[in-house]
Structure 1
Amino acid sequence: MNIIYRVENVKKIKEEIKKAIDEFCNVFNPTEGVLYIFEDTLTKAIFSECHVSADKLIFKGTVDSPLDAENQAEYRANRDVVADNIAFLQMKEDALRKRSFSNIVAEYNVAFDEQHPLKIIGGQHRFIASEEALSKGINQVHGLKVYFGLNTEQRLDVQLISNTNIAVSSDLLDRMLETVKGPELRNWCQQTGLLNEHEDFADKKQRGSRFTVRAARTFIMNFYAGKRIASENFPKEKTIPVLAKTGGLDEDWEKLKHNNAQLWSDEQLIEAGKAFAKLIQEQKNYFSKSNGKSSNSDYADKASSYAIVAAWAYVAGNLQDNPVRLARHYGLTDIKKNDPLNAKVLARVKHVTDPDNYRGLGSRTDVKDRGRLAELFYFQAEKGIGITKELANAAIKRYHAKEALLEALAAESRV
């Protein structure tokens, strides 16, 4: 096959990349009969666009593609396949009617899984639809954009641009970006039980989903934020838990890691993570059908609410200087084994200023809900009686009273 290089300087292309291009032509035999090689000027990634038959594409391709094959080979950058999505179901029907798909994005790489050198980076739903059609004897030609010799940064870039046409979730982007940074956050979550062993972060936040990168970052950021305030000063200072940013770079998260070199081995943080993982599990267990109770997904997932993740971690950090109250905070599941968060109560409490459609503490992620929940967990640790209706209502009033006092003090300082 004739290979034509349309790049600025052919001599700069590594020999192993040229060898991979030759191998690709021999294995996949593109229908064009000539393969044009281009260079992405922005990232210097080498690629080509061509068409190959489904049998070669499917037999030598795989959607099981890691972002970092060398160091984190068991974790995937692709989003989960949405099997019941209407568009995907239509796509499979089209494939059975001999539709030829285009813009399947892949990397030719024999370093990982030599039997499947073509790693599908974008268009995995089209790939699977073609695979099912091929199993029924339909062997169409499909359009392919294939990259050669990508490094990790280039691979991430290709992952991002190839998914911009499918409303990729911000949680998947977070997972991809965190994977490039290294496995430390995932390893920490697995160590604490927030993720199971060998489990990766969820690619989309939804009921019953695994912990997300945003949830993990939020937990750690708030633990250290709470720790910066002495617990005795909690009633007198502004104590609003934060939410980690999502879908891009979070400078506050990066700064936190830089300023805490021992973060991943911090025993206090690990203990907090384990205690919260227990809370999540106990909350889910009580509302699971296996306990003979009627399933309620909202109540079962209450501990995974971003507002609760943030507030609980904030108070855990704040109480590091008060072992007695810290034990009460971590022991919430022991105080009330059934529905430890008392989700039914949280869903009903409200303030006179709340709108009629307010669904209770933990239903929103705004500043007000995060601040109220921080007061709730701090007050519970003070009393050690578990979450009750009276305690929740008092915590809400505490929050508004503190806000009013701080506003008054700020106004006085300007006089």
Structure 2
Amino acid sequence: MDQLVVYKQSQVKELVNNFLQEFEIQEKEHITIHTDNKTLAFYIECHIKAKDICNKGTIDVPLDPENQSDYRANREVVENNPAYLKMLQDAEEKRIFSNIVAEYNPDFEPDKPLKIIGGQHRFLAIERALKKEINEFHGFKLYFDLSMEQRLDVQLISNTNIAVSSDLLDRMFETVKGPELRDWCQKCGILEASQDFADKKQRGSQISVRGARTLIVNYVNGKRIKDIEFNIIRTTPAISGTGGVDEEWEIIRQTPKLWTDKKMIEMGKAYAELVASQKKYFSVKENFEFSEKALSYSVLASWAFVAGVLHKNSERLKRHYDLSNRTSGDPLNSSVLAKGRHKTDPENYRGLGTRTDVKDRGRLTELFFLQAEKGTGINKKMVDLAIEKYHAKEANLRVQEMEKKL
């Protein structure tokens, strides 16, 4: 047997013995250490007394406690969910919960060695019932000595029976890769200091991992296009994938000196100013939807793409970045965008920046490129022209592609 495996087994046995001395469980005399054949993670199955669960357990669990201890992998607790409210009632009626997934890890926050990975709502229900002196045994799958990769795997499999958002999965995967994307967003002001990405894209939330990836991917892709060729080639930005591995992002994030690129940092800061200006203007307005316009995937993708195209054109790039100070306080002139439409649009089309399809992204890219040329801010004539330019360009490119096939 591999010496490393033997060593780890010895470490796990020691941890299990420490756990048995510290916790009251039903299976104390008949405990079996199991191995997950897929990841070689070690675990036991047992029932732990509620008092021990609450006094020595925590749901405040980092995915990477050694290097990123301030950032969490788990979801926000949904306190008004009907299923959770029913769970609280069940616990007070002495229901025994099972399938709670946890790790025994006394190295990080030793007074709370029981780290709840899956089952945070059940933990809270048990905690509340304990205050009414309901002290039952509850079922656990308890892991020992997990590596970060094993911990991520446990996080994922423990959440397969609930509606986990793709944004949370993205955040977990990015955390495993390292803190670079989050650190970059904090440095640029896209995220506040110590703030993590949103675990679910919704109104009022900060940027998601998908949004941050999309911003950088399109800036990098835009840099590959010469601004003098913009009007004769296809210039449609992309939106990064979600809920799994995005191969394009994986390649880009490993680019040497990516995170220290001064021009990309400048781009990030300019985008943060655009988001802040947009939100500030609508903070006292009724139309909350417009305050989120800069965080729309189609808007941020197109804006970043144009920033990349113009990265060597300092004069036009400045006009592009100065958009946050234009249009009488509403940088994106949201009411004008909402009225922008083409004769081919369906009746329910609500204007630029409301969809994420290729057409919307292409139109917005034309608009931002035009605005950088004029530097006067977004207006109705510019929106109408950008829409026509997009459709004319697409028609011309289709003709060229058809001619090549003859």
Say whether the fold is shared (TM-score over 0.5). Answer: yes
Given candidates 242, 265, 270, the residue that maps to 2:265 is 270
- Write out aligned runs for 1:7-406 (5 A): 11=6, 13-33=8-28, 34-258=30-254, 260-289=255-284, 293-294=285-286, 296-406=287-397
Q: Render the CA deviation track for 1:342-393: whole Å, top value 9, x for unaligned.
A: 1111112111111111111111111111111101100111111111111111
Q: Which moved more, 1:271-280 or 1:80-89?
A: 80-89
TM-fit CA distance, 1:10? 9.0
Q: Is the 8 A contact 2:104 2:115 kept in 1?
A: yes
Give how far 1:136 is off: 2.1
Report the number of matched residues: 402
Q: Which runs of 5+ in 2 are unaligned?
A: none
Contact kept in structure 2, 1:106 and 1:147, CA below 8 Å: yes
State the distance in 2 between where 1:385 and 1:59 align.
Answer: 61
CA distance in 2 between counterparts of 1:272 and 1:92 reads: 47
Structure 1 residue 32: Cα displacement: 2.4
Range moving further from structure 2, 90-99 or 349-358: 90-99
CA contact under 8 A between 1:282 and 1:337: conserved in structure 2? Answer: no
Please say if residues 91 and 126 of structure 2, whose CA atoms lie closer than 8 Å, have aligned partners that are also in contact.
yes
SS of residue paired to 2:115: strand
Task: Give the CA RMSD over aligned residues.
Answer: 1.3
How big is the shift at 1:13? 4.1
Q: Which runs of 4+ in 1 moved over 6 A?
A: none
Partner Cα distance (2:253, 2:269) in 1: 20
1:55 CA drift (Å): 0.7
Give, in whole Å, the separation in 2 of the partners of 1:41 and 1:337: 62
User: In the TM superposition, what is the alpha-carbon distance from 1:29 to its structure 2 partner?
Assistant: 2.1
Q: Is the 8 A contact 1:230 1:321 kept in 2?
A: no
**Cα offset for 1:208?**
1.1
Equivalent position amino acid for 1:63 in 2: I
Q: Structure 2 CA distance, aligned partners of 1:50 and 1:167? A: 26
Amino acid at match of 1:235: N
Shift of 1:283: 0.6
Could you list the per-position Cα deviations for residues 137-170 of structure 1 after superposition, in whole angstroms to 9, with x for gaps in the alignment? 2222211110000001100000000011111111
Structure 2 CA distance for aligned equivalents of residues 71 and 32 of structure 1: 35
Counterpart residue number, 1:6: none
Contact 1:225 / 1:317 at 8 angstroms: preserved in 2?
Answer: yes
- 1:121 partner SS: strand
Deviation at 1:336, TM superposition (A): 2.4
Cα distance, 1:395 vs. partner?
0.6
Q: Deviations over 1:178-236 (max 9, x none)?
A: 11111000000000011000011111111111111111110000001111001111111
Percent identity of the aligned residues? 56
- What SS class does the counterpart of residue 48 from structure 1 fall into? strand
TM-score (ref. length: structure 2):
0.97
CA contact (8 A) 2:277 2:325 kept: no
Once the two structures are overlaid, the 10-residue window that deviates more, 334-343 or 114-123, is 334-343
Work out the CA distance in 1 between the residues paired with 2:197 and 2:5: 40
- Report the residue type matching 1:20 in the other structure: L
Q: 5+ residue gaps in structure 1? A: 1-8
Moved more, 141-150 or 130-139: 130-139
Q: Cα gap change, 1:53/1:337 in structure 2, threshold over 3 Å: closer, same or farther?
A: farther
Secondary structure of the residue aligned to 1:146 is strand
Deviation at 1:299, TM superposition (A): 0.5
Q: Secondary structure at the match of 2:33?
A: strand
SS in 2 for 1:356: coil
Mean alpha-carbon deviation: is it higher for 268-277 or for 29-38?
29-38
CA distance change for structure 1 residues 14 and 36 in 2, over 3 Å: closer, same or farther? closer
C-alpha distance in 1, partners of 2:5/2:298? Answer: 54
SS in 1 for 2:34: strand
Conserved? CA contact 1:72–1:183, under 8 Å: yes
Offset of residue 257 of structure 1: 2.5
Q: What's the offset of the Cα at 1:177?
A: 0.7
